[in-house]
Chains A and B, each alone.
Chain A
Amino acid sequence: MEHAILPPWALFAYLASGVLFILALRGLSSPATSRSGNRYGMVGMGLAVGTTMLTQAPIPTGDWWPRPGPEDLVILARILAAIAVGAVIGLSTARKIQMTAMPQLVAAFHSLVGLAAVLVGLAAYLNPHAFGILLPSGAINPDSRIEMGLGIAIGAITFSGSVIAFLKLNGNMSGSPILLPGRHVINLGTLLAILGLVAWFTQDESLWVIAVITALSFIIGFLLIVPIGGADMPVVVSMLNSYSGWAAAAMGFTLHNTAMIITGALVGSSGAILSYIMCKAMNRSFLSVIAGGFGAEAAAGGGGAKEQRPWKRGSAEDAAFLLKEAENVIIIPGYGMAVAQAQHVLREMGDVLKKEGVNVKYAIHPVAGRMPGHMNVLLAEANVPYDEVFELEDIQGEFSQCDVAFIIGANDVVNPAAKTDKSSPIYGMPVFDVDKAKTIMFIKRSMGGVGYAGVDNDVFYMDQTMMLLADAKKMVEDIVKALAH
């Protein structure tokens, strides 16, 4: 049997929905156009779902007007109920979720796309007739078997990988890498076995083949993410984003559906580009991130010769005095700010300083936080206007005219060792030139801990550095109080 023959308008509708998804991403080129972009996305999704409901399910009709029988109505009711359950869960989660928890939410959402892809792939296997992938002989079309096998494999990897990423980001599982002996051999062997089985599947469509592909892919997703440390999560989340796209594309090939193929390609490239940007911002190769273990090795290597060096501790009052006198202040937030939920009080401090005539800017490193753009969302949540927030390359030149570089919850992204120390695990990573600022204020819980890369930071010991040792939120609150005097 050939693929289900769809009326021409349905093909146009799927194409239109693909175009609307492109426009949704295009809108994100600036905050001003982003909201209408998101609406294009919703319309595109509504169009794709509506078209499917009208042409393939549950009201298939050759007539110009659908004539559902009683059985069709039962099916329709089931489908609508399934959508309603999803809508309630999805909307209530989206409303309640804290902005600081966005990385784990996105990871959880990725896992759902992955699982849905696996289920759709298995459903297509069990009912190839409905998907129009049967040959006249009664066997499943071998091309479709490849697409189905790959779709299931990628979906399963996305699912189990995202579950691990979620557990790590949510703190249910330690963020430190877990290293199994011989993991590279095991991983490579499993991946090759999956590919071999997909090839075998074209010759033998028995249930065991697809079952083993599914099981091995769940396992490999788990094995791939477990050895990757917390600091590399931005890359992992982006990579899983990409996989969820490729899984959708593979299913689009099975169904010959343009909306799914276009979307899969968009999401797949989007995640891949984000992974690339993140890797570049850490000066690490994608392979080294995927190989995992970063953080564990560094902590072991960096723990060696460490002498006690002098450093200066400041109080909130000292900081307030200097901030008030400053002309230009650059604030560098990091993941610690998110953990301490300090973004709101930080914006308050910024407002007070602006009233005093201080020029306040925020500088965000591409890998600050646990997912791309995480800090920008948190600052936006705290009502910091987006035109006061700058990317690394746009603000780097301004540190020489900067009176105070105010570092809150960041560490590795200001570590000069990245520029000078070839043996450092973060060597080559682009960092902020905070050492050019007249004064550096560094909020940190204690002198004990070091950044996620596990390396000491020379900035602590510089002449112009004032260490503000306290919880980030508490310290900024105290500074705001001191500024009021």
Chain B
Amino acid sequence: MDFISILSIFVLACFVGYYVVWSVTPALHTPLMAVTNAISSVIIVGALVAGAAKGAAASSALGLVAITLASINIFGGFAVTARMLAMYKSKKKG
């Protein structure tokens, strides 16, 4: 992909983010932060590439540490979001 295609995806995604986030109800702003934190750990993709590469010991060591850090976030972030969301109950359902 050339730079301009990637930039287009980025700019359009910023707009999507803008509208999607404004539609999030303020009551769920804490879960929003927890889940955005979890998904930003998609940086693990870069960590996996580095961690799996052969012939560059320092680079793959950094990659492995980054994999662990990102995994803490992914598992922790989604789990804590799920835990919070499970608490939100409506009056009607009791």
Q: Which residues of A contact B44 (CB under 8 A)?
A: 48-49, 52, 116
Q: Is the CB of A376 within 8 A of B30?
A: yes
Residues of B in contact with A, size category: 35 or more
Q: Which of A24, A48, A78, A262 contacts B64 (CB 8 A)?
A: A78
Q: Is the CB of B88 within 8 A of A45?
A: no
Residues of chain A in range 94-138 having any CB-CB distance to chain B below 8 Å: 94-95, 97, 99, 102, 105-106, 109-110, 112-113, 115-117, 119-120, 122-124, 126-127, 129-131
Residues of chain B in range 3-20 having any CB-CB distance to chain A below 8 Å: 3, 6, 9-11, 13-14, 16-18, 20
Q: Is the CB of A26 within 8 A of B23?
A: yes
Q: Which of B10, B20, B59, B64 contacts A26 (CB 8 A)?
A: B20
Q: Is the CB of A119 within 8 A of B47?
A: yes
A90 at interface by CB-CB < 8 Å: yes
Cα A366 to Cα B39 with chains together (Å) = 24
Q: Which residues of A contact B82 (CB under 8 A)?
A: 35, 38
Q: Is the CB of A123 within 8 A of B30?
A: no
Which of B18, B56, B67 has the most chain A CB atoms closer than 10 A to its own CB?
Answer: B67
Cα A268 to Cα B11 with chains together (Å) = 11
Nearest neighbor of A59 in chain B, beta-carbon distance: B52
Q: Which of B14, B76, B87 contacts A91 (CB 8 A)?
A: B76
Query: A31-B88, A44-B39, A386-B27 in contact; A254/B46 too (CB < 8 A)?
Result: yes
Q: Is the CB of A261 within 8 A of B9?
A: yes
Q: Is the CB of B18 within 8 A of A269?
A: yes
B interface: dominant SS: helix
Query: A79-B48, A116-B44, A259-B42 in contact; A31/B63 too (CB < 8 A)?
Result: no
Residues of chain B in range 42-83 having any CB-CB distance to chain A below 8 Å: 42-54, 56, 58-60, 62-83
A258 at interface by CB-CB < 8 Å: yes
Q: Which residues of A contact B50 (CB under 8 A)?
A: 119-120, 123-124, 127, 130-131
Residues of chain A in range 399-456 having any CB-CB distance to chain B below 8 Å: none
Which of B47, B58, B65, B82 has the most chain A CB atoms closer than 10 A to its own CB?
Answer: B47
Cα A266 to Cα B14 with chains together (Å) = 6
A253 at interface by CB-CB < 8 Å: yes
Q: Is the CB of A34 within 8 A of B31?
A: yes
Convert A369-385 into 0s and 1s, putting 1 for each residue whose CB lies closer than 8 angstroms to a CB of B. 00111101100110101
A interface: dominant SS: helix
Q: Which residues of B contact A290 (CB under 8 A)?
A: none
Q: Which residues of B contact A30 (CB under 8 A)?
A: 25
Q: Is the CB of B35 within 8 A of A41?
A: yes
Query: A29-B23, A112-B73, A270-B21 in contact; A124/B46 too (CB < 8 A)?
Result: yes
Convert A36-58 into 0s and 1s, putting 1 for each residue whose CB lies closer than 8 angstroms to a CB of B. 01100110110011001100111
Q: Which residues of A contact B17 (CB under 8 A)?
A: 22, 25, 265-270
Query: A94-B79, A119-B62 in contact; A241/B91 too (CB < 8 A)?
Result: no
Convert A51-86 into 0s and 1s, putting 1 for each residue whose CB lies closer than 8 angstroms to a CB of B. 011001110100000000001000100110011111
Q: Is the CB of A126 within 8 A of B52?
A: no
Distance in Å from the Cβ of B53 to the closest Cβ of chain A?
Answer: 4
Q: Is the CB of B54 within 8 A of A28?
A: no
Query: A28-B35, A251-B46 in contact; A90/B28 too (CB < 8 A)?
Result: no
Cα A143 to Cα B3 with chains together (Å) = 9
Determine, out of A182-190, A216-224, A387-395, the stretch whose residues face the partner at the interface: A387-395
Q: Which residues of B contact A78 (CB under 8 A)?
A: 51, 64
Nearest neighbor of B58 in chain A, beta-carbon distance: A126
A93 at interface by CB-CB < 8 Å: yes
Interchain residue pairs with CB less than 8 A apart (15)? A52-B49, A56-B49, A86-B67, A91-B75, A105-B76, A109-B73, A112-B69, A113-B43, A127-B56, A261-B6, A267-B40, A371-B33, A373-B29, A380-B87, A386-B89
The 10 A-B residue pairs whose C-beta atoms are closest, nearest first, are: A86-B71, A57-B52, A373-B29, A90-B76, A90-B75, A269-B17, A265-B13, A127-B59, A123-B50, A130-B53
Beyond known contacts A241-B37, A371-B30: 17 more, CB 8 A cutoff? A41-B38, A57-B52, A90-B72, A91-B76, A102-B30, A120-B62, A123-B66, A249-B10, A261-B13, A265-B11, A265-B13, A265-B16, A269-B17, A273-B22, A373-B33, A380-B88, A385-B89
Interfacial residues, chain A to chain B (CB-CB below 8 A): 3, 17-18, 21-22, 24-26, 28-32, 34-35, 37-38, 41-42, 44-45, 48-49, 52-53, 56-58, 60, 71, 75, 78-79, 82-87, 89-91, 93-95, 97, 99, 102, 105-106, 109-110, 112-113, 115-117, 119-120, 122-124, 126-127, 129-131, 143, 237-238, 241, 244-245, 247-249, 251-271, 273-274, 277, 364, 366, 371-374, 376-377, 380-381, 383, 385-389, 391
